[in-house]
Structure 1
Amino acid sequence: MKTLLGSFVATIALIGSTNSMAVTKDNGDDWLKKSTKTAVYQLTKAAQTFTPGMNPRSINPDGTVRLAPVRDWTTGFFPGTLWYGYELSGDKNLAAEAKRFTLGLDSLQYIKDTHDLGFMLYCSYGNGYRLTGDKIYRKPLENGAANLYARFNKKVGAIRSWDFGHWQFPVIIDNLMNLEYLYWAGNEFNKPEWFAAAKTHAVTTMKNHFRKDYSSYHVISYDTLSGKVLQRETHQGLTHNSAWARGQAWAVYGYTMSFKDTKDKKFIQQAEHIASFIMNHPKMPKDKIPLWDFDVHNSDRSPRDASAAAVIASALLDLSTQVKDGDKYFKFAEDILKTLSSDEYLAKPGENQFFILKHSVGAFLYNSEIDTPLNYADYYYLEALKRYAEIKKIDLKTIAQS
């Protein structure tokens, strides 16, 4: 590790700074080398700094780290990012830290009051099981999936998202992301009803969450007796009818993933429609890092959301491999990754409280986590780097260890 970190500092010194808030020029693999080595450095330091069960979530306005307790919806992202760091670099120290932080979330398998079990368990335990095959991760994944499935309402045709608020049966666009957990678990544990519930949820969401331009509402509330829609709202976007950026990112990711798992063509068609909305939006900045909501009026003063950009990049890379004309999606995602890997968004080693990316937005309307690092931005950024390297057939382990 000392050799790797030492070579990292030398590499950073050789890589010129990039133009702020602009798509970087292609200088071979320099940007990829820089981003990979930065991620390994930051994750190594973060794992040494924080304690399992109180995982880094973001940075508070006073500069201190906001920590996520075990039941926080973001708690699985830091262990998952460590697993991706290990996968990208081959660094066994990161694998050991990933295991330590994952097992610190053992009690999550018994939680029944949230749809976020996919984020919480599949990003942590799921990646651990995928990369190691260690059965220590398997039973918690089975228990958690059973609890997620229990939130499925057959009359509504969807999985309940929240157990709070004024809604009778709220379903949020974010919930699409947790379907991957049930698709996988249905196959892994021979529970076809779990898989079927996930697919039904995707169909119901496609029917009710989207406007004619394929932008998405954030929250749909259903009547549990009739299954009819009661309300179409947003909880985090600018208005009920605006296009909250991360919501659109969840949507394109969710339908790309649902097609990959089900092979149902209507899902890939939906994914392409949503991708077109995002990529061709007149308010998409030239550097392809969206504003926190596509419909904000003063775009020059509104903060960008690197977390939405990271999710979009990962989704578009996946989408590029699922369709015949995928090059346009690949190139758009590549531009995003190069921007995120520029000095404007990528942290310098040792700074940013050891988060990898800067400039994300959590919940703007609630003055929460504005223009700050977010653990899920880091998670999907590394996932996108992994997908990019796989498509380009680039060995990031060699880059990380060079």
Structure 2
Amino acid sequence: MMRLSLMAVLFMGIIFFESCSKNIRTDEPLDYSVSQLKKTLSHIPADTPNIPRNIKDSLGNWRYVDYKDWTSGFWAGELWYAYEFTKDENIKQQAQRFTEQLYPLSVSPAFDHDLGFQVFNSYGNAYRLTGNEAYKKVILNTADTLATLFNPRVGTILSWPRLVPNMEWPQHNTIIDNMINLELLFWAAQNGGDHNLYDIAVKHAETTMKNHFRPDYTSYHAVVYDKDTGKKIKGVTHQGYADDSMWARGQSWAIYGYTMCYRFTKDPKFLDFAQKVSDVYLARLPEDKIPYWDFDDPAIPNAPRDASAAAVTASALLELSTFVKDKEKAQNYRKEAEAMLAELSSAEYQSRAKNSALIMHVTGHKPNNSEVDTSINYGDYYYLEALIRERKLQEGRSIYENL
């Protein structure tokens, strides 16, 4: 009897150790991320512009932007994720401070489509974690603003309502990044906003699915439409290597966007498409799971990587793994996401003592030689989001459940 009891104790000890080991593996990069965010907070200027966007030099100094920048919501979003993990009231206060700087976006005409990135990543996480109705009001107002860019003749939201090279202004342009901003519309429609917001989001996703992808399910960066007839004029790139190449972050936006569309609609065509755009991305990854900035750059393997695309994709695949009914395929998506996060958490990709960002080797706009092989806030945001999602799954939680 004593021998059985001893064996039982040993068995329980093994289970406890394995459980703790999983949390330790996940919590180490989360603890690291919080430490890095605190370093950045200690250097941020009091006056605007004071939203960290990218590391601008070899000394590790941040370049700061104001609320109008398309990346302005990521920093507040990072702080909200850090608060969710730590429950640290000082971090919460900073998250509130940088969220509330973005308020003018909810009461100004739309300058471009990035309102989802700006407001839902900041105010959306703020409302999720606090339940503050004032935050919800800002989200709903901003969704209405974003909807003003929808062209019903085309069936998509206009991305850049201004002159941009190769977009044939004043014709209608839509970039694949816009898929992420649909989350703002879907959420608003389901939380007190006009139902038309839901219809706009669905129509945009369907039109993009029809016109934005090649037969192999790789994405154009941008599609230009006739603004009056809705006819597709051309598929082009703005930030990729070539019009017909697979720009890594663009494909990651598609993976994330169609996975999110399925979450809100439960329409199987979006789930099927999310898998198709994921599978072509996964099939072409290098061994370490971090893509080159463009899969078709002839300079590979001497081309820069884009760790932000890996972070976006990892977060999306963790969610996708919870939807796919084929157990083996679902497990593979999660395994691939965890491999990406493990690499991003290595000394090769974490910033550590080099600067106070979370990860390095992000490429923003290679054709313009802008933000190449550096640290950028959206790479950090999706890295932290993916880590939070991974931890929840390891604990048997829904990724939508707050820690």
Deviation digits for residues 149-196 of structure 1, max 9, x if unmatched? 111111101100002324311000000000000000111124100011
Deviation digits for residues 68-103 of structure 1, max 9, x if unmatched? 221000000000000011112222221111001111
Give 1:210's aligned amino acid: F
Gaps of 5+ in 1: 1-26, 396-402
Residue equivalent to 1:381: 383
Give the one of 71, 83, 86 matched to 1:86.
83
Give the one of 237, 241, 251 matched to 1:238.
241
Q: How far, CA to CA, are the matches of 1:394 and 1:204 in structure 2?
A: 36
Residue equivalent to 2:400: none
Structure with bigger RCO (C-alpha 8 Å, 6+ apart): 1
Residue equivalent to 1:19: none
Q: How far, CA to CA, are the matches of 1:65 and 1:391 in structure 2?
A: 33
Q: How far, CA to CA, are the matches of 1:30 and 1:260 in structure 2?
A: 29
1:362 correspondence with 2:396: no
% identical aligned pairs: 45
Give the one of 211, 215, 225 matched to 1:212.
215
For the Cα contact (< 8 Å) 1:290–1:304, is it kept in 2?
yes
1:159-308 matches, cutoff 5 A: 159-164=157-162, 165=164, 166-167=167-168, 168-281=171-284, 284-308=285-309
For the Cα contact (< 8 Å) 1:31–1:341, is it kept in 2?
no
Deviation digits for residues 4-51 of structure 1, max 9, x if unmatched? xxxxxxxxxxxxxxxxxxxxxxx7555423211111111122223224
Give the one of 58, 62, 65 matched to 1:65.
62
Q: How far, CA to CA, are the matches of 1:53 and 1:121 in structure 2?
A: 17
1:48 correspondence with 2:38: no
Larger Rg: 2
Distance 1:88 1:138, change over 3 A: same
Give the one of 153, 156, 160 matched to 2:154.
156
Give 1:388's aligned amino acid: E
Residue equivalent to 2:352: 348
For the Cα contact (< 8 Å) 1:245–1:290, is it kept in 2?
yes
1:311 correspondence with 2:315: no
Deviation digits for residues 313-357 of structure 1, max 9, x if unmatched? 0000000001123101000000000000111111225x41x2111
1:13-162 matches, cutoff 5 A: 28-50=22-44, 51=46, 53-61=49-57, 63=59, 64-109=61-106, 110-162=108-160
Q: CA offset at residue 236 of structure 1?
A: 0.5
Deviation digits for residues 228-267 of structure 1, max 9, x if unmatched? 0012100000000000000000000000000010111100
For the Cα contact (< 8 Å) 1:314–1:383, is it kept in 2?
yes
4+ aligned runs moved over 6 Å, structure 1: none
Q: CA offset at residue 143 of structure 1?
A: 1.6
For the Cα contact (< 8 Å) 2:311–2:341, is it kept in 1?
yes
Q: How far, CA to CA, are the matches of 2:300 and 2:43 in structure 1?
A: 37
| Count of aligned positions | 365
SS in 2 for 1:268: helix
For the Cα contact (< 8 Å) 1:290–1:306, is it kept in 2?
yes
Distance 1:61 1:46, change over 3 A: closer
Q: TM-score, normalised by structure 2?
A: 0.88
SS in 2 for 1:287: coil
Q: How far, CA to CA, are the matches of 1:61 and 1:70 in structure 2?
A: 22
Q: How far, CA to CA, are the matches of 1:28 and 1:387 in structure 2?
A: 14
Residue equivalent to 2:331: 327
Q: How far, CA to CA, are the matches of 1:88 and 1:367 in structure 2?
A: 36
Q: How far, CA to CA, are the matches of 1:263 and 1:233 in structure 2?
A: 30
For the Cα contact (< 8 Å) 1:233–1:241, is it kept in 2?
yes
Q: CA offset at residue 138 of structure 1?
A: 2.0
Q: How far, CA to CA, are the matches of 2:53 and 2:291 in structure 1?
A: 21
Q: TM-score, normalised by structure 1?
A: 0.88
For the Cα contact (< 8 Å) 2:23–2:391, is it kept in 1?
no
For the Cα contact (< 8 Å) 2:117–2:181, is it kept in 1?
yes
For the Cα contact (< 8 Å) 2:223–2:234, is it kept in 1?
yes
Q: How far, CA to CA, are the matches of 2:41 and 2:57 in structure 1?
A: 22
For the Cα contact (< 8 Å) 2:259–2:320, is it kept in 1?
yes
CA RMSD of aligned residues (A): 1.5
Residue equivalent to 1:371: 373
Q: Which moved more, 1:217-226 or 1:242-251?
A: 217-226
For the Cα contact (< 8 Å) 2:150–2:156, is it kept in 1?
yes
Q: How far, CA to CA, are the matches of 1:58 and 1:339 in structure 2?
A: 21
For the Cα contact (< 8 Å) 1:34–1:341, is it kept in 2?
no
Q: How far, CA to CA, are the matches of 2:307 and 2:25 in structure 1?
A: 17
SS in 1 for 2:53: strand
Residue equivalent to 2:10: none
Q: How far, CA to CA, are the matches of 2:391 and 2:172 in structure 1?
A: 41
Give 1:320's aligned amino acid: S
Q: How far, CA to CA, are the matches of 2:149 and 2:280 in structure 1?
A: 31
Give 1:390's aligned amino acid: K
Q: Which moved more, 1:47-56 or 1:271-280?
A: 47-56
Give 2:28's aligned amino acid: K
Q: CA offset at residue 105 of structure 1?
A: 1.4
Residue equivalent to 1:13: none
Q: How far, CA to CA, are the matches of 1:308 and 1:248 in structure 2?
A: 8
Give 1:356's aligned amino acid: L
Give 2:298's aligned amino acid: H
Q: How far, CA to CA, are the matches of 2:109 and 2:363 in structure 1?
A: 27
